[in-house]
Amino acid sequence: MEQREIGSGLSVATVGLGTWSVFDHGPDRQANADGVVTAMLRDGCALFDSSPMYGRAEAVLGAALAGRRDQAIVATKIWTPSVEEGRAQFARQLDWYGGRVDVEQVHNLVSWHAHLEWMAEERAAGRIGLLGATHYSPGAFDELARVMRSGLIQMVQVPLNPDERQVEDEILPLAEELGLGVLVMRPLGSGRLGAGPPAAELRPLGVESWAEAVLVWALSDPRVTAVIPATANAEHAVANARAARHPGLGKDDRRRIEALWRAR
C-alpha cells in the first residue's frame, strides 16, 4: 500500500502532509515545519499539500524544502475569483517551489473553468505536473462531479473519515470510472479523530495508534490515492507515516474501526 498512482503516471506515497493551520502559527513555526518535513521525507512520504488560503504555510513549506525540493511532490492550490490574481499566486508558488508545482488544484472550485484554462497552458509548458480540484462540502459535490467529467483534471481532493463518508455515494465511484486520483483532506476530521480507543484494542488490527487506525481505514478504500493529515508535531508525522506501510484492512476490520469510534 506504499505507493499509488495519483494520475497520468505520477505515483505518490499513500500518506502525505496537509499544512492548513499547522504551518502558520507561533514563533517556532519554521523550526516545527522543518522537523515535520524532515520526518516525512525520512519515511518516504514526500507529498505536501498547501494553499494560498493557509496564511504563510506555502512560504514556510518552500523554506522547509530548501535544498531538498527534488525529493518532494508539492500539491498546492489557486484560490481567488480573479484570473489575474490566480496567475500572481502561481508566480509566487514558482518562486517558493523551484519553478514547478507538481499538483495544482482549484481550491473550493472558485472560478474553476477560467483557472483551468490557463493552468492547462502552464501544464503544457511543464510548470505544472497534474491539475486537480478540491471541495470540502457535500453541497458542492454535484459541481465537483461536473468538473471531474469535464476531462480538465487528473485528480480531486475531498474529505473522508469514519464521520464524513458522503464521497462514497458519487465522487469515489466517479473517480474510479474516470481514472482520477483522490487525495483525502481532513482524514482525522481536523483533529476530532486524532485520539480514540487505547492502543491495546488496536494492535490486533496491526496499528499502534488511533490516528494510524483512522488513516489506514481511509487507505483501505482502493479508490483513495493518499491521505494528507496535517500536523505541526514531528512525532505525529512519524505515527501517521506508519499508515503507508500497513498492508490494508479487510471489510470486517474496517467495520471494527467504525464500531470502535461509535462506542468511544
Ligand X SMILES: NC(=O)c1ccc[n+]([C@@H]2O[C@H](COP(=O)([O-])OP(=O)(O)OC[C@H]3O[C@@H](n4cnc5c(N)ncnc54)[C@H](OP(=O)(O)O)[C@@H]3O)[C@@H](O)[C@H]2O)c1
| Binding residues for ligand X (CB under 6 A) | 18-20, 22, 49, 107-108, 134, 136, 157, 185-191, 194, 211, 228-233, 236, 239-240
Nearest distance, CB of residue 17 and ligand X, angstroms: 8
Question: What's the farthest any 2 CA atoms get from each other in the chain?
Answer: 54
Q: How many residues does the chain have?
A: 264
Output the DSSP codes for 32-65. Answer: HHHHHHHHHHHTT--EEE--GGGTTHHHHHHHHT
Q: Which is nearer to ligand X, 20 or 112 (CB)?
A: 20
Nearest to 220 by CA among 261, 168, 260, 177: 168
Of the pair 9, 245, the CB lying nearest ligand X is at 245
Question: Measured from the CB of residue 242, what is the shortest distance to ligand X in angstroms?
Answer: 9
- Expressed in percent and rounded to 5, the helix, strand and coil fractions of the chain are 45, 20, 35
Q: Which is nearer to ligand X, 60 or 211 (CB)?
A: 211
Residue recorded with cell 518552500: 62
CB nearer to ligand X: pick between 118 and 136: 136
Q: Given the complex with ligand X, which of 39 and 174 has the nearer CB atom?
A: 39
- For residue 220, count other CB atoms closer than 10 A to its CB: 19
Give the shortest CB-57-to-ligand X separation in angstroms: 8
CA 232: distance to chain centroid?
15
Residue whose Cβ sits closest to ligand X: 18
Tell the smallest beta-carbon distance from residue 187 to ligand X (Å): 5
What are the C-alpha distances in Å from 52 to residues 87, 91, 93, 142, 209?
Answer: 12, 12, 9, 25, 32
State the virtual CA torsion across 186, 193, 237, 175 in degrees, nearest 10: -30
Residue 12 or 251 with smaller CB distance to ligand X: 12
In the complex, least distance from residue 161 CB atom to ligand X, rounded to whole angstroms: 7
For the CB of residue 66, give the shortest distance to ligand X in the complex, in Å: 20
Q: Pick left, alpha or beta for residue 151 (phi over 0 → left; psi -120 to 50 → alpha; otherwise beta).
A: left
Nearer of residues 20 and 90 to ligand X, judged by Cβ: 20
The minimum distance between CB 18 and ligand X, in angstroms, equals 2
